Structure 1
Amino acid sequence: MRLRLHSRVTHMHRVYQNPRSLFQMKNLLFKAGLSGLAIAISFCSCAPATDYKKTLNDPLLFCKTVKKLNNVVLENNFPPMIATRNYTYATIAAYEVIAAGDPQHYQSLAGQVKALKPLPVPADTSKINFPLAAMLAFTKVGNAVTFPEGSLMGYYESLVNMADSLGMPEDILTGTKAFSDTIVSSIMAWAKGDNYAQTRSASRYTVTNDPGRWIPTPPMYAQAVEPHWMEIRTMVLDSASQFRPAPPPPFTPKDTNSTFYKALKEVEIIGNSLTDEQKHIADFWDDNPFKLNVSGHVMFATKKFSPAGHWMNIVGIAAKTSGADFNTTVTGYAKTAIALYDAFISCWEGKYVYNFVRPETVINANLDADWRPYIQTPPFPSSASGHATVSAAAAETMTSIFGDNLKFTDTSLLEFGIANRQIASFRMAAAEAAMSRLYGGIHYRFDNDLGAASGKKTGELVVSKLKMKK
């Protein structure tokens, strides 16, 4: 055992000296950290053989596993709604494992979310370590729904090696992997029916000059993102239009007494007089997975977590802050991912019904040709705000799991050089995320209000319909 582990570490040291990419380096460092833990434990002759149970039942290890997928999503520029699909299937796989392992307290989502049929139930639970099986299922499903192919399999092997190094008996490790694979197969077969593949070849958005209709915005002038996302199968919503946001006000950019003009002018005025606190809020909740920076003839991209990735990080922070156990942590991730998933489908349905123009376009055409928003306008229609919608939905599910007034420090953006924020509750975080879009200059206030109202309904429906913990 010691010789094999030493060989792995030596190989990793050689790769670290000549990394092919930043992604490879991050992947390597994470695996090295897990291997180091395994080595330390294997060298301790006094450690009892059952230590693997305590180590693998650590909710923070599951949080690190989710973060691993989050990093892959970040590196590969997944749009926010596709990222949410990745998180949802992976977290449901993990949840189904813990539900099978503790049927007295947890109920399968089969028959509760659309088209999910009963999953395999182990005949003999004595040969399965359910926390490890949950992490392995999460990792394999996450690997299957992301790209490049195999991105997470190195981490999968590091989990298996860690369990082996911690003293897990071979028959239990074999049984754990086998049961995990049955869940993975069932979840992936279910995922194939969600219409995602069909939308990859759907028609593109048609840009027109109709007044009030969305057109591409600088600096990328990119095509509209995922105009067919409303065709994806929902999880809990009856249909994509069930909680369609109310329509934006009539487009009247010349009528200074109109609701629209006043909202437009508010975006311009706030954008021209931002305080440091407002800038911090805008930066903190920007969550742009691919920002194009242009300086003269030089163009380069910077990446941050998408809104879904940010909320997945918050689930981990909440689990740690509240002292949640392993199964509660998995449940929190799965329930929140489902709410984010349906909220994105609902929001995108409304966006491409209304096709409403962004503030930047109207301000440039009617008020100030040189005006630019504080953060970059994303490439899809304005109303309603996606961040306001999905944040409100996530806040409801997280409140149902972790409580109404859990105060925490959101450290999600520290790795991107953006200072932490102190959060008083999940609902207050959602409200701040919504306002950030007005401060950022990319949404009207009514976009935020309409999105938040719709997202709250989606989150409440997920909470009321899904019976997860008995």
Structure 2
Amino acid sequence: MKSNIYILFLVVVFSFVGCKDTEKVPDPVELEISNVVADKWAEMTLRHLKAQQLKTPTYVSRSLGYIGLTMYESVVNGSIVYQSVAPQLNGLGTLPKPEKDKAYDWETSLNAGQAYIIKQMWQHAMATDNKRLDSLENAIYAERNLVVTDTATIGRSKRYGLSVAKAIYEWSKTDGGHLGYLTNFDPKYVFPRTTMNWTPPMNGQSSVLMPLHPHWGKNRTFTSTNSQLSIPEMIPYSDDKNSAFYKEFKEVYDIQLSLTQTQKEIANWWGDDPSETYAPPGHSYSLALQILRVKKPNLFTAAESFAKVGMSVADAFINCWKCKYTYHSIRPAAYIRKNIKGSFEQFWPEPPFPAFASGHATQASSAAEALISVYGDNVAFDDMTHVGRPKDIFRNVEYKKRSFTSISQTAIECGISRLYGGIHTSQDNEVGLAEGKKIGGNINALSWKK
């Protein structure tokens, strides 16, 4: 059966490849530096994202790229194992360095950097949202002042974290996506309007009948290697019932006829509607936080994980959007209504952009690859991201925790959730998973360790 072949493909895609970094053993002092401040800021980042208006998966991914990178770069010079990746990134160059032979409190540096970069990424946030950021920043400063009694060290650390964040923010302004949440739709964008191409759906996730961020694929990636990846090939369009293209959509139709309750729960869990959640890349950042709480790494490894996940999902959306707006590929509902059954309705509402390849699968795969490089694949944990959300009465689905025994399972399940939702074909998901693995791999390939 094709579904069995599909699952086998997914397992092969996520066969674990060991980290190539030469392992260096941190000194005891480095190992003892707690990840608590990183944990608090990651949690606040997600809370802040969820509250924002006009957010899209594209812009959320970008913001997490810079937020995660800032976390890492604001502390990395306190490690004897890790090193700055800034000179290896696409046009960033060298960041400010700490003063030689001076003491620094790296939790304070991280605190200053996160407070600044989050506000810059979301400059039109509500005053109440920024008050929460200020409250956390001030609370952490108060805690650090109790631990580090030298006020000069605290002041120096704060200035350093802020200088790193400001340098990264200035670089971010030139990537093509600056304040992109203010320009989600381009009414002047001309896209092909044929029966074989995607068109904005009625009654979809968005009430705006225009394509979302059609130019996002032109943005600068964090690594030049990701900008150099070729656009994946797509099965040629065909209405022929014997064609490979038709069979892709027939599979979607058949699955929708007999969705199980478990499949519905998976579709809902990974739906991550930006109007109600912190969007798909935010879900990946949430996974990074939850795995951190299981593995309990030190501050520097925690910062590495958020930087890798953030930059991976950011580059994933750039590359995926380049692909989407190359093919302008039709989604299942329109094709099925034309060729299989005119009254077809999919389980999950259609998002406002073309199908191929799947953004969910691409970003989830890139994030999984990033996290595997830090923690290994065999990590058992519960994904609690949506626990506590009200029951979806319309679809009769409750939001129950999802349990996993490996990180790669999250990407596999995220990808197939779109097939269960009726908005992607297996091809969309398979290619997305394969491309995401490459993208996350290119982030991992940076020289993170000395």
TM-score range, shorter chain: 0.7 to 0.9
Structure 1 partner of 2:109: 133
Q: Determine which of 417, 438, 457 is the counterpart of 2:438.
A: 457
Structure 2 partner of 1:107: 83
CA distance in 1, matches of 2:232, 2:336: 24
Structure 2 partner of 1:64: 40
Q: Determine which of 323, 333, 346 is the counterpart of 2:306.
A: 333
CA distance in 1, matches of 2:209, 2:260: 30
SS at the partner of 1:416? Answer: coil
Q: List per-residue Cα deviations over 1:35-85 (Å, max 9, x = no partner).
A: xxxxxxxxxxxxxxxxxx99x943243122112122222221411121111
Q: Determine which of 267, 270, 278 is the counterpart of 1:282.
A: 267
Residue 236, structure 1, aligned to residue 220, structure 2: no
Q: Determine which of 174, 186, 189 is the counterpart of 1:193.
A: 174
CA distance in 2, matches of 1:400, 1:288: 28
Residue 182, structure 1, aligned to residue 163, structure 2: yes
1:168 to 1:267, Cα distance in 2 relative to 1, 3 A? farther
SS at the partner of 2:229? Answer: coil
Q: Determine which of 43, 49, 66 is the counterpart of 1:89.
A: 66
- Greater relative contact order: 1 or 2 (C-alpha under 8 angstroms, separation 6 or more)? 2
Mapping for residues 110-121 of structure 1, pairs under 5 Å: 110-121=86-97
Mapping for residues 335-354 of structure 1, pairs under 5 Å: 335-354=308-327
Residue 206, structure 1, aligned to residue 190, structure 2: yes
Q: Determine which of 206, 216, 220 is the counterpart of 2:200.
A: 216
CA deviation after TM superposition for structure 1 residue 155, in Å:
3.0
Q: Pick which of 90-99 and 157-166 moved more.
A: 157-166
Q: Contact between 2:148 and 2:154, CA under 8 Å: does it hold in 1? A: no
Letter aligned with residue 289 of structure 2: G
Q: Contact between 1:264 and 1:359, CA under 8 Å: does it hold in 2? A: yes
CA deviation after TM superposition for structure 1 residue 233, in Å:
0.7
Q: Contact between 1:140 and 1:156, CA under 8 Å: does it hold in 2? A: no
Structure 2 partner of 1:80: 57
Q: Identity percentage over the alignment?
A: 28
1:351 to 1:259, Cα distance in 2 relative to 1, 3 A? same
Query: TM-score scaled by structure 2?
Result: 0.84
1:198 to 1:423, Cα distance in 2 relative to 1, 3 A? closer
Larger radius of gyration: 1
Q: Contact between 1:240 and 1:349, CA under 8 Å: does it hold in 2? A: no
Q: Contact between 1:91 and 1:330, CA under 8 Å: does it hold in 2? A: yes
Query: TM-score scaled by structure 1?
Result: 0.80
SS at the partner of 2:123? Answer: coil
Gaps of 5+ in 1: 1-52, 291-302
CA deviation after TM superposition for structure 1 residue 168, in Å:
4.2
CA deviation after TM superposition for structure 1 residue 425, in Å:
1.3
Q: Pick which of 168-177 and 220-229 moved more.
A: 168-177
Mapping for residues 29-428 of structure 1, pairs under 5 Å: 57-77=33-53, 78-102=55-79, 104-124=80-100, 126-149=102-125, 151=130, 152-164=133-145, 168-197=149-178, 204-219=188-203, 220=207, 222-238=209-225, 240=227, 242-247=229-234, 249-253=235-239, 255-290=240-275, 303-417=276-390, 418-428=399-409
1:252 to 1:241, Cα distance in 2 relative to 1, 3 A? farther
Letter aligned with residue 162 of structure 1: E
Gaps of 5+ in 2: 1-28, 391-398
